Structure 1
Amino acid sequence: MASRVTDQAVYDAALEVIAEQGYERATTRAIADAAGINEATLFRRFVSKENLLRQAVRGNFAGFSLDLDAPGDDVAADLLTIVGYYSSLYERRGGVVLTLMREAKFSPEVAAVLAEPESLLEKVDAVILHHQRRGALVVEPPRHTFFALIGPVMMRALARRVDRRATQAPADPEAVVRRFLDGHRSLER
């Protein structure tokens, strides 16, 4: 008797298929085939493709720990927590993250699913604002600071996704934070 395919295995398959084909073109049949189950089982367990994506995103974000509830006085340590989290996320799931970000603009289903990770970005904004108020970072819109911080991590993941021959190693979170702080520390300190 065949063993039951775990939810995580189905999530992994769904995210890989969506990363390769996009949400709209990814069929439930292709996802089921990639997971090693039949399409009826997929629907019985997850009801719809949107629900499967929602659970897969939740399951994968839960797998990355990002404790930002109490930012401290060490801006480098807090930024390292953020960069480490996103570095792990982009290394493991960069393709699907970029695909979903692109498709959210055109697909209400994808936009609804991405509303949950948006709350994580609000926590990141709060950490950035905390350090801006302390005078440790240049004051600018927090999301601008976030994208300047995460940009090198995201671009390395994107480059490796686009160019299969790319040999760049994953971004070193400590080096990313150090370079970021060289240009974003507040001069008032």
Structure 2
Amino acid sequence: MINLDALYQLKESFGFFSNQLTYPEKLDFHPKAFDKAFDSNHPAYHEIKQYWENMHDISLDDIQEVYTRTFDFEKKTTLYMTYNKLTEQKERGQMLARLKVLYEMFGLEMPQNELSDFLPLMLEFLYAAEWRGDSRAQESLTLVVMVIEDGTYELLQALGKQNSPYFHLIKAIRETLKSCVVEQEKVINGD
């Protein structure tokens, strides 16, 4: 179960994460972007700070090269969250359709050229969608978070093996989401 209030309080982080996972541009690394989304109390502050420092140690050209090599040419480090998990075409197609409907239900218009399991799009949804007070939010956001958690697990492992600067970003996303998950025991006991 997802703590929707905690997830809502971290919206700025999801916008930052989404932006960092699109093709890198100079403005993506402006200090204001980081400062707006994070403070030292953020659940993934240590990881995201490490990512930020690592990225500032290399040139924009090198970042762009790493991004392209990592996310565009490697199957194990794809940003499509169901690609490696749902190997059956039909099963993956059903999940993509389900996510697309979910986005539209909350007012997010899907780009024509993008699949609904693209991680930056999923994070953008968590940032931009207005779900407060919507009775469908709990089930819908639980699905989005589950797909991201499943997809980023393999991605994190592969990035770790490559010693990629994106490792800490993906770890920060996972830690941020984990901080919003309410353990089943706490839900049952009402804690």
Structure having the higher helix fraction is: 1
| Larger RCO (CA under 8 A, 6+ residues apart) | 2
Query: Higher Cα Rg: structure 1 or 2?
Result: 1
